[in-house]
Amino acid sequence: MCRTRPAHLLPLRRELGLLARHRRSTRSSPSDAAAAAALHPPHQWPRGLLLYGPPGTGKTSLVQAIVRECSAHLTMINTYSVHKAHAGEGEKFLREAFSEAYSQASQGRPAIIFIDELDAICPRRNSRREQESRIVGQLLTLMDGNKKSSKKLPHVVVVASTNRVDAIDPALRRPGRFDSEIEVTVPTVEERLQILKLYSKNLHLDENVDLQIIAGWCNGYVGADLEALCREAARLAYRRLSNSSENGKVLTLLMEDWESAKSQIKASMIRGVTKEAPTVSWDDIGGLKDLKKKLQQAVEWPIKHATAFARLGISPVRGVLLHGPPGCSKTTLAKAAAHAAQASFFSLSGAELYSKYVGEGEALLRRTFQRARLSSPSIIFFDEADAIAPKRTGPSGDSGNATVGERLLSTLLTEMDGLELATGIIVLAATNRPKAIDAALLRPGRFDMVLYVPPPDAQGRHEILRIHTRKMKLGEDVDLGEIAERTELFTGADLEGLCREAGMAALREDLSASSIHKAHFEAAIRSLRPSLTKAEVDEYAAAAIHGPSAGNIRI
């Protein structure tokens, strides 16, 4: 009788079910297997099984759970045991490991050989050394030997795990070796909730702690990350209790402990190419009321109300392009949308993608889309989109930059087309030069919606001034409405600089000043000039009407 499945593997029930199909053959008795072979002679169970997925998703735990369920003998192979100091020791260890598994199986006990981090043991041919080549050759020989004995009992199953499936020698992935592959994915929000409940079951939680909300914060977190989050929250609660005067009080985790822990423990699989969804809210952006509403419907609704979209058969927008003058909150709008949708926020700029190494920018682009899929709901934001996807002018010339731009554009087009099969991923981009972007990106199905972000009007400028002065102490003579009327053509960035300069004017006048007065704003207005001219604003507005594509939604 199989043992009970460990509780922490409940979120991996799909993968467990697939693994269980393979382990059933290892539990069969010789007579049962012979009967099955007689009934279905062409059928052969796969002898090799490859588990792949991000670190911390539970690949090793899956194998250990199956071993416990069927009381199998487990033979472990890892990089430390194979990469020995002396030549031939690694190959000898592999032979002994397979021999041990066959010996156990010959006694009627199911045997599983587990190879951890297969990509480090058997890398691709173009990146390995002589010792690694010998180890790969030995493993291929042993795997082929396992296949030849497939009609004979005992049955030995070889399971391997990797975080980088493309880094494995392709010879190992052909039929007859690792001919069955299972992807162990990042947990969904409901699965994250189950994991949090498991790891916090022995902790005393305050009644206001809502694990459902915490699970929603943790896009992209794997099981190992969530375990670390619970541990960090408990540590912070203990430190808070130690610093208090209430001795003997029960250690209780508050919601603030979880919030602090979340700021310390990041999702391991999205480190390096991601930024956490920023804390910018819609209220931090002055004006642009209609534009914010359109962006909410395009970005926030498909993520927060996915069931409503599915019920009506509505395909959500895949991409939104924000264009307009510099300093008009395009990037801030994208961050606010990510924050409102509680989505993972991936941000890339042209400077990050243009590398001196050939192919590195395209690899970063593909890796970003892959991690966005794994940590959905996600928002991928491209700043300076005209640098990432420049308009093609014909055959590649002698310019190295043009060649890099074309390769990046080709990769971006491929990845965006692949989003048709994904859910919960939206691409946002910002540019000051929409006409410089290749027209292929602006067709429906890629950037479905194009939004013009204009300079703020008088009402918008008033709101922006109010936002940037809410932490300042203003004198009673300061009239923000009047200042807004006098700052035509000022962008949001200009107005932020104006408020800062007014504060500096007050300090230059008196370092002990306690408030900022009208005279200080007057001085700031005289010393600053708007970033835009009327002609430039008209040019940007014309680009919004006569853009490079007419097939998408233009606002």
Residue 509 Cα to chain centre, angstroms: 49
CA-to-CA separations, 7 to 10, 201, 337, 530, in angstroms, rounded: 6, 12, 36, 61
User: For position 551, what pLDDT does the model report?
Assistant: 46
Give pLDDT tens digits for 394-414. 654 444 445 677 888 888 888
What's the topology of domain 189-270?
Helicase, Ruva Protein; domain 3 (1.10.8)
Give pLDDT tens digits for 263-314. 888 887 666 555 555 678 888 888 888 999 999 999 989 888 888 988 998 8
pTM confidence score: 0.68
- DSSP letter at 56 equals T
Per-residue pLDDT band at 547 (split at 50, 70, 90): very low
| Positive/negative CA dihedral, 531, 533, 536, 540 | positive
Through-space distance between the first and last CA atoms of the chain, rounded to whole angstroms: 64
The contacts of residue 338 (CB under 8 Å, 6+ apart) are 277, 278, 299, 344, 345, 379, 381
Give pLDDT tens digits for 54-104. 888 888 888 888 888 778 888 898 888 887 767 778 888 889 988 888 888
- Delimit the CATH 3.40.50.300 region(s) of the chain: 7-183, 282-450
Omega of the bond prior to 548 within 30 degrees of 0, cis?
no
User: For position 486, what pLDDT does the model report?
Assistant: 92
Check: CB of residue 284 under 8 Å from CB of residue 467.
yes
User: For position 540, what pLDDT does the model report?
Assistant: 84
CA-to-CA separations, 206 to 127, 143, 203, 237, 239, in angstroms, rounded: 52, 54, 10, 11, 16
CATH number belonging to the domain at 282-450, selected among 3.40.50.1220, 3.40.430.10, 3.40.50.2300, 3.40.50.300: 3.40.50.300
C-alpha–C-alpha distance, residues 389 and 410, integer Å: 9
User: For position 19, what pLDDT does the model report?
Assistant: 52
Give pLDDT tens digits for 426-458. 999 999 888 888 888 888 888 888 999 999 999
CATH 3.40.50.300 corresponds to the domain 7-183: yes
User: For position 273, what pLDDT does the model report?
Assistant: 57
Give pLDDT tens digits for 372-393. 887 778 889 998 888 888 887 6
CATH 3.30.70.100 corresponds to the domain 458-531: no
pLDDT > 80? residue 25: no
Burial class (CB in 10 A: 0-12, 13-18, 19+), 375: buried
- Delimit the CATH 1.10.8.60 region(s) of the chain: 189-270, 458-531
Range of weakest confidence among 130-134, 245-249, 298-302, 460-464: 245-249
C-alpha–C-alpha distance, residues 319 and 476, integer Å: 46
User: For position 35, what pLDDT does the model report?
Assistant: 40
